[in-house]
Structure 1
Amino acid sequence: MARRPTLEFWYEFASTYSYLAAMRIEAAAQGAGVEIRWRPFLLGPIFAAQGWNSSPFNLYPAKGRAMWRDLDREAARLGLPAVTRPDPFPQNSLSATRAATYGMDHDWLVPFSKAVYESVFAKGQSIAEPSAVVTLLNSLGLDGTIILKSAAAEANKGRLRVNGEEARSRGIFGAPTFLTEDGELFWGNDRLEQALAWAVGDRPGGMR
């Protein structure tokens, strides 16, 4: 059997549009015949390098108002629960992202990632506290206390930093971002279908 092409899915737990992408990417990828590699990372350092101290949706209120309305429409279109805005926004996602980084070597990464997104954007709950992350892990039948302890170890924290450096070096500036095997970058939930098409060689005008 021929190997299926792979698409990297770079996501941040505080990102609204990453939420939409995370909740639909598996079905879309299966239909396209593409494997997804889930890549959790932190946007904060990347935003800071651009001179931003918060989400651009906070820095530019008109853009933020349009985003929240768009998120409501898209959630309804996708059959997702009504969006509940977390307070504060964006959420501090450090503990959850450390856990997800540790989970990259385990089969619970995807269900955990989706559970985090549901907690933040469907229920409006905080994920800032380590105890909240432990509760989410426990809800999946895992030992959240042990996992979070491993996630806070220096080796895993170093891996998260390296992942962030890799994201910057590959030109990632926001989330969600999709990267194909030949390095083509697609940014935004609304570019998922184009990224999947590119991954399987369906490219407009015979582009490389």
Structure 2
Amino acid sequence: MTQIDYFFATLSPYSYLAGLRLEEIATKHGASINYKPLDIIALFGRTGGVLPKDRHISRIEYRTQEMMRQSQKIGMDFNLQPAHWPTNAAPSSYALIAAIKDGSGDVGKLCHSVLRACWAEEKDIAQDEVIRECLSNAGFNPDLADSGLLVGAETYAANLEEAVDRGVFGAPFYITEDGQRFWGQDRLEDLDRHLAALT
């Protein structure tokens, strides 16, 4: 079975705008997804990136326009300035890592639920009640929010190191088994075509 390593951040607007399209592509091609939440702020610092707030005004303005265009293009609710952004991404990421290990629910749905909470529902994804609701909605035991914190922290850090080592510099970022890299939700169509060529 083909595997896709999926590096993403629970604070990333573009990870949110990917929706569930990666999961649909994986199903279409019989591929599995390795979900790897990471610290996007640390990733920027390690790979020469600049935080959105520190970018030149021309880049800030373009990013604003592009996010709105992309959300309208795919018909997704999107709040350009969510009430709770930025926030601490670690608690939601640790819960995701615990859920991935648990495997009893729908990980793709959980990822999207957390991202949607931030970018469309005005919820603080650092808050326990928000994380528990997302877990429950995706078929997981909400108590996973309180378990495996040490493992979560270790895996979260390891995902960052792996990302840097493998040439990841943003989110969402997809790497196929044959080493092809795709950056951004607007490259999912290219990923789809690539996987089709492999089968």
TM over 0.5: yes
Which bin holds the TM-score, normalised by the shorter protein? Answer: 0.7 to 0.9
Greater Cα shift, 161-170 or 135-144: 135-144
Shift of residue 82, structure 1, vs aligned partner: 3.9
TM-score of the pair, normalised by structure 2: 0.84
CA separation in 1, counterparts of 2:127 and 2:95?
Answer: 12
Shift of residue 141, structure 1, vs aligned partner: 5.2
1:71 to 67, 84, 105: 67
Query: 5+ unaligned residues in a row in structure 2: which ranges?
Result: none
**Counterpart secondary structure, 1:101:** helix
For the pair shown, which has the larger CA radius of gyration, 1 or 2? 1
Alignment identity in percent?
A: 25
Q: RMSD value over aligned CA atoms?
A: 2.4
Shift of residue 63, structure 1, vs aligned partner: 1.9
Q: Note closer, same or farther for the CA distance 1:137–1:73 as it changes in structure 2 (3 Å cut).
A: same
Shift of residue 73, structure 1, vs aligned partner: 1.8
Q: What is the number of residues matched between the two proteins?
A: 195
The equivalent of 1:125 in structure 2 is 123
Matches within 5 A, 1:39-50: 39-50=36-47
Greater Cα shift, 130-139 or 97-106: 130-139
CA separation in 2, counterparts of 1:17 and 1:141?
Answer: 24
Shift of residue 133, structure 1, vs aligned partner: 1.4
Query: 5+ unaligned residues in a row in structure 1: which ranges?
Result: 203-208
Residue by residue over 1:106-155, the C-alpha shift from the partner in whole angstroms, topping out at 9 and shown as x without a partner, is 133222111111111111321122332123224445432x2122132x23
Shift of residue 158, structure 1, vs aligned partner: 1.4
CA separation in 1, counterparts of 2:43 and 2:197?
Answer: 30
Shift of residue 178, structure 1, vs aligned partner: 0.8
The equivalent of 2:34 in structure 1 is 37
1:137 and 2:135 correspond = yes
**Counterpart secondary structure, 1:100:** helix
